[in-house]
Amino acid sequence: MLTLEKFEQASELVKNVTIPTKLVYSEYLSRQTGGKVFLKPENMQYTGAYKVRGAYYKISTLSEEERAKGLIAASAGNHAQGVAYAASQFNCHATIVMPTITPLIKVNRTKNYGADVVLYGDVYDDSCAYAKKLAEEKGYTFVHAFDDLAVATGQGTIAMEIVQELPTVDYILVPVGGGGLITGVSTLAKMLNPKIKVIGVEPAAAASMTAAIKAGKPVTLPSANTIADGTAVKHVGDALFPYAKENIDEIILVEDDELIGAFLDMVENHKMVVENSGLLTVAALKKMDLKGKKAVSILSGGNMDVITMSSIVQHGLIQRDRIFSVSVLLPDKPGELVRVAATIADAQGNVIKLEHNQFVSTNRNAAVELRITMEAFGTEHKHQLMKALEKEGFSPREIGAKLY
């Protein structure tokens, strides 16, 4: 069972492997929501995520014999690193089964913490099944990524830290995947202060907890296709569900597009890299009435590869009209390109890419196509640039922006 005594014990133990993640007041998000918004930056942990808490506490509850057998877990990222690092602190061997498509940086980080990595299967479910098979064959002790009450107890230590630092907190927003984090946080938060509202936040395309609460029991989603890969779970934990159902006050669903804007908000306003799953709680703030309230958004992790980061930034700039492309037709004669560039420059636009197509028409004297990708300050400025081009007779047509 999840008890206050165990949460208190876990809270002391996890200090051995965690960096204190003090609450960060967000003036930007507070101004947007009308409340006082604080961030719990678990993305700043040594392993880049909160998962080390649950892994370490779980391993602490095992007997010397169980640890001596070696540990095994399945994960595509944060749990893998959490178990690998926690196991190294207990001087026990860990094997992590990861999907074959796991980015190389995550595989190498897991190995660097001292674990052996086995690549198996295309998705987490395949890796998990294989890990359980290896556990049975070789006698390893299996450490589940979320469906374990000891793991959930370790994750719940975040609530202890939040309440100690901000006793008057009104809302705690928690990302939801398999349910381990929100089960621990919501259960402990209600023990410490039943008035605290715990809000779960799920990707709309992987809303397994929402489906479970609606059905009254965990159900398996047909798919979980979301950029919030850390919370792309089809079936929430069976052992956790009774606690989650009792202690979660509300669940908010977030679309993938909303996470893109949240990433830009974190990078530009807080200079923090937060992975898509950790951004769920930031995106959800805009869907809440927080006037006069204090809210804490848990940023669950920051393990994002650079290629994904680059793609998110590009899409975010396009989404907010800070980068856009237009097509204009103009006569193929000297001076026209300069005239277009001067018009954009006079309106404070910045050209970042040009494509000149002389073969859009058989009559080059009538028209050639110029595709222009440019920077703007936002939607209003984009409209000003379009009007400036129209005023000069170029008849701009907006097209899909691409930076490559």
Stated as kind and residue range, the H or E segment containing 368 is: strand 368-375
Count of CB atoms situated within 10 Å of the CB of 90: 15
DSSP 117-159: EEE--SSHHHHHHHHHHHHHHH-PEE--SSS-HHHHHHHTHHH
- Tokens standing for 80? 């893998």
Contact indicator for 206, 224 with CB cutoff of 8 Å:
yes
Q: What is the pLDDT of residues 207-239, one digit of tens each?
A: 999 999 999 999 999 988 899 988 988 899 999
Q: In what order do the strands lie in the sheet with 171-175?
A: 24-26, 36-41, 294-299, 171-175, 197-203, 250-254
Q: In terms of residues, how long is the chain?
A: 404
pLDDT of the residue at 301:
94
For 321-399, CATH gives 3.30.70.260
Question: Is it true that 4-49+154-316 and 321-399 share their CATH fold?
Answer: no
Q: Which region holds residue 323: left if phi is over 0, alpha if psi is between -120 and 50, else beta? A: beta
The pTM of the full predicted model, rounded to 2 decimals, is 0.89
Q: How far apart are CA 168 and CA 200, in angstroms?
A: 19
- Tokens standing for 316? 């975010």
For 51-142, CATH gives 3.40.50.1100
pLDDT of the residue at 76:
78
| CA dihedral sign, ordered 346, 349, 352, 353 | negative
Question: Which DSSP letter does residue 204 get?
Answer: G
pLDDT of the residue at 330:
85
Q: In what order do the strands lie in the sheet with 350-357?
A: 350-357, 368-375, 323-330, 397-399
Q: Which residues contact 33 (CB under 8 A, 6 or more apart)?
A: 285, 286, 288, 290, 291, 295
Q: Which region holds residue 173: left if phi is over 0, alpha if psi is between -120 and 50, else beta? A: beta
pLDDT of the residue at 6:
98
Contact indicator for 86, 56 with CB cutoff of 8 Å:
yes
**Which class in CATH covers the domain with range 4-49+154-316?**
alpha beta
117 HSE (CA, 13 A, CB side): 25
| CA dihedral sign, ordered 362, 402, 228, 310 | positive
Does residue 217 have an active-site annotation?
A: no
Q: Which residues pair with 375 in a beta bridge?
A: 323, 350
Q: How far apart are CA 81 and CA 109, in angstroms?
A: 7
Contact indicator for 364, 358 with CB cutoff of 8 Å:
yes
Q: Which residues contact 180 (CB under 8 A, 6 or more apart)?
A: 54, 145, 146, 147, 148, 151, 152, 155, 237, 240
- Tokens standing for 260? 């893109």
Residue ranges, the chain, pLDDT below 70: 358-366, 402-404
Q: What is the pLDDT of residues 302-361, one digit of tens each?
A: 998 888 888 999 899 999 999 999 999 888 788 888 999 999 999 999 999 988 776 655
- Tokens standing for 319? 């989404």
pLDDT of the residue at 360:
59
pLDDT of the residue at 359:
64
Give the position of tokens 């058989």: 362
Does residue 300 have an active-site annotation?
A: yes
- Tokens standing for 395? 């008849």
Give the position of tokens 């809000």: 199
Which one, of 134, 153, 161, 16, lies nearest residue 69 by Cα?
A: 134
Beta strands at 36-41 and 294-299: parallel, antiparallel or unpaired: parallel
Which one, of 123, 43, 44, 51, lies nearest residue 80 by Cα?
A: 51
So where are the chain's domains? 4-49+154-316, 51-142, 321-399
- Collapse the DSSP code of 90 into the 3-class scheme (helix H, G, I; strand E, B; otherwise coil) and give the result: coil
Q: Which residues contact 322 (CB under 8 A, 6 or more apart)?
A: 375, 376, 377, 378
From 51, 190, 234, 245, active-site residue: 51
- Collapse the DSSP code of 371 into the 3-class scheme (helix H, G, I; strand E, B; otherwise coil) and give the result: strand
From 75, 208, 277, 300, active-site residue: 300
